[in-house]
Structure 1
Amino acid sequence: MIDFNRPAIVGNELKYIQDAVAQGMLCGDGKYTKLCSEWMKKRFDVNQVFLTTSCTHALEMAAFLCDIQPGDEVIMPSYTFVSTADAFVLRGAKIVFVDIRPDTMNIDENLIEQAITDKTRAIVPVHYAGVGCEMNKIMELAKKYNLKVVEDAAQGVEAYYHGKALGTIGDFGCYSFHETKNYTMGEGGALVFQKDEYQEKAEILREKGTDRSKFFRGQVDKYRWIDYGSSYLPSEMNAAYLYAQLEECEKINHKRHEIYDYYHANLKNLEDEGKIQRPFVPEGCVHNAHMYYIKTRDLSVRSRLIAYLKENGICTAFHYVPLHSSPAGEKFGRFSGEDVYTTRESERLVRLPMFYDLSETDMEYIVEKIQQFEF
């Protein structure tokens, strides 16, 4: 069976984990946490980076730093992972779902303004498949209505929008380093932002509500409980694994683009024949080859295709069930306007195997079997 995903070991992962153990400090905020943070600051031109235990926790931190209060409304697409909404629901917010663009699967920037009310406090664009949302329009709306922007860039590490790294454009950006992502630490994420005014509050929040970070810097002689917080700091062993991956960023990025480009070129004829649709990347966006998906005519064809590929030893996957159609989505949110594309497009999409160690032989086999399928 060709796996759908397999986490990579590409360099010094095991060596750095051994070194982390030898350092005698396995809790967070040690050598490798700092190395990862500094790497991202330089690479993405961002002032503050807080490594976290997950992108979910990065989103929770962002919701807190946005000062979301019970009854506030937060706008986001319904086509996203549950964590995007959960982070704000935990603060008591009402989620307002907006339809997506069928070409990118991202939130339709032209439908956001009509969803804004006097209760709206934030917009949460989700950069699906590492392809940037139309951030210029979104930031204009945020400025006009004095709203916070939290970028869910879980899939957007090392992807860019008009030269800016995804996650660094809004007030806060949230990355994922889960094992399914381009660069991984098993479970992990990061919160990034430009405004230094949030640094101290973010430190306290990540360190269980204490000023422990100041204590370790020698700024206070003991650390105390200062404010609300939780345990959002990952282990040094996870950070060590991630740093080895970041060091080999170019190698990983190159391989993933090779896979993406192979699929894209060798499935073009099926799109030309009207049997599938391939991913679309707007001008000004640089994607990161996080995933490669195709869209079939409808749910029935997709179901047949997934079953057929499985029978032929190929593991594929559909993606999100739109949140507004789920029990929690109905309880904690509402859909603004009409669901024209969210459900329809979600039922057509199937993701193909994409991981660093995917062989050329396997890529050829996957394409061959898709070409032989009766669409």
Structure 2
Amino acid sequence: MKYPMFKVHMPVDDALNKIESVLRSGFVNEGIEVTQFQDALKDYLHVDNLVLMNSCTSALTVAYKIAGVGPGTEVISTAMTCIATNTPIENLGAKIVWADVLPESGSIDPKDIEKKITNKTKAIVFVNWAGTPCDLEVIAKLGQKYGIPVIQDAAHAFGATWDAKPISDYADFTCYSFQAIKHLSSGDGGALVCKKADDFQLAKKLKWFGYDRDAAKDEKGEWKGQRWSADICAGEVGFKFNMNNISAAIGLAQMPYIQGLLDAHRHNADVYTKAFAKSSLIMPIQIPQKAKSSYWVYTCLTSSSVDRDLLLEKLNAAGVGAGLVHLSNDMYSAFKPYESSLPGTRLFGDRQISLPCGWWLTKENCFEIAQLVEDLAAESLSA
């Protein structure tokens, strides 16, 4: 593929040096490198209550658990997301209640969220599609109004802001991904940011069986005092979700580059937005005025006159890694029990395409791709 959708940024020499240090130390589990990576992320994201984990899915699972999600409860969620947003809800035994999305953006519709709230609702979860924040203020106010925790799946949205503030300011829990193809990759990994100090303390326990590892072990990961002095409290039995030093070493090697990577994604996205500004066939998704997107990918919408699937076939044949990124989750058989009328989701799902806009592309590449999209869209008109 001439212009791939994804490409893993990896400062190989820096990463290998840090990994070698870990391997020679003889301690590869959670220790000094995890602490250093955690502190670097706190500084970059301007947050305090951050817990590193082995994936964003794990971070979401812990957030749901703290929110009280379990059998007999409901979670209001979006179907237009990665299945990782919703599989933990199923695994915890709760019911998924779909809220529709706004067809012009793919963002969850706050008005539909409010319609779906019941006395069984334990959490509201949403994804910032392609790195673009939803209307965070409105969703946060809904959570406050009804006393329901708000969980933000920010897997696409590392470095995104709302009203020039960290997006984690507007949710009880914010979950980041450091999986292979994200802006910042540690090979695999994730982080959970908690607004409340009590939730943060519990999250630290739940990611490591139920022990507060920070209290039980020193910075190197060695036990402080006797092993049997650490306790797991009733109701706090946790998971094996901690990050290890090898993954953290890779993440640390990435940190000096992350701002440049985000800047490149945004500059390339700007090329597309300007190129499609007057198009009648391709429309950029709507970005809220207060949102600053991280543009993991560049999503746009085809007009109703364009055969979207044919356009994607033509783009792929021409060497452009265009695609859908995620399918609406309600289309999977596993989620059939939660079937609901979602007209906005259907409309967005039928018209969306995502284009590569990453650091590996130049502005000239994006101009070429935009022109190709426009030309091939004109050749892909529905009969």
TM-score past 0.5 threshold: yes
Instruction: Determine helix, strand or coil for the equivalent of 1:289.
Output: coil
RMSD: 2.1
Find the counterpart in structure 2 of residue 134 from structure 1: 135
Find the counterpart in structure 1 of residue 292 from structure 2: 286
Find the counterpart in structure 1 of residue 368 from structure 2: 365
Q: Which runs of 5+ in 2 are unaligned?
A: none
Q: Which runs of 5+ in 1 are unaligned?
A: none
- 1:258 is displaced (CA, Å) by 2.0
- 1:128 is displaced (CA, Å) by 1.1
Find the counterpart in structure 1 of residue 227 from structure 2: 222
- 1:49 is displaced (CA, Å) by 1.1
Choose 139-148 or 196-205, whichever is displaced more: 196-205
2:343 to 340, 344, 347: 340
Shift in CA distance, 35/343, structure 1 to aligned 2, threshold 3 Å: same
Shift in CA distance, 128/25, structure 1 to aligned 2, threshold 3 Å: same
Instruction: Determine helix, strand or coil for the equivalent of 1:347.
Output: helix
Q: Which amino acid aligns with 1:327?
A: S
Find the counterpart in structure 2 of residue 327 from structure 1: 333
The normalised TM-score by structure 2 is: 0.90
| Number of equivalences | 368
Q: CA–CA distance in 1 between the matches of 2:305 and 2:325?
A: 12
The normalised TM-score by structure 1 is: 0.91
Q: CA–CA distance in 2 between the matches of 1:318 and 1:111?
A: 24
Q: Which amino acid aligns with 1:296?
A: T
Find the counterpart in structure 1 of residue 88 from structure 2: 87
Q: Is the 8 A contact 2:206 2:237 kept in 1?
A: yes
Q: CA–CA distance in 2 between the matches of 1:49 and 1:220?
A: 26
Q: Please list, as runs of the form range in 1=range in 2, the aligned pairs for 1:226-237 lying within 5 A after superposition.
A: 226=232, 227-237=236-246
Choose 245-254 or 69-78, whichever is displaced more: 245-254
Give aligned-pair identity as a percent.
Answer: 26
- 1:198 is displaced (CA, Å) by 2.3
Q: CA–CA distance in 2 between the matches of 1:61 and 1:268?
A: 41
Find the counterpart in structure 2 of residue 60 from structure 1: 61
Choose 168-177 or 92-101, whichever is displaced more: 168-177
- 1:105 is displaced (CA, Å) by 0.9
Q: Is the 8 A contact 1:299 1:347 kept in 2?
A: no
Find the counterpart in structure 2 of residue 23 from structure 1: 25
- 1:97 is displaced (CA, Å) by 0.3
Q: Is the 8 A contact 1:44 1:168 kept in 2?
A: no
Q: Please list, as runs of the form range in 1=range in 2, the aligned pairs for 1:244-259 lying within 5 A after superposition.
A: 244-259=253-268
Q: CA–CA distance in 1 between the matches of 2:301 and 2:100?
A: 18
Q: Please list, as runs of the form range in 1=range in 2, the aligned pairs for 1:298-317 lying within 5 A after superposition.
A: 298=304, 301-317=307-323
Q: Is the 8 A contact 1:95 1:334 kept in 2?
A: no
Choose 50-59 or 224-233, whichever is displaced more: 224-233
Q: Which amino acid aligns with 1:325?
A: M
Instruction: Determine helix, strand or coil for the equivalent of 1:268.
Output: coil
Instruction: Determine helix, strand or coil for the equivalent of 2:282.
Output: coil
Q: Please list, as runs of the form range in 1=range in 2, the aligned pairs for 1:62-77 lying within 5 A after superposition.
A: 62-77=63-78
- 1:276 is displaced (CA, Å) by 1.2
Q: Is the 8 A contact 1:316 1:352 kept in 2?
A: yes
Matched, 1:266 2:275: yes
- 1:155 is displaced (CA, Å) by 1.0
Instruction: Determine helix, strand or coil for the equivalent of 1:46.
Output: coil
- 1:99 is displaced (CA, Å) by 0.7
Instruction: Determine helix, strand or coil for the equivalent of 1:125.
Output: strand
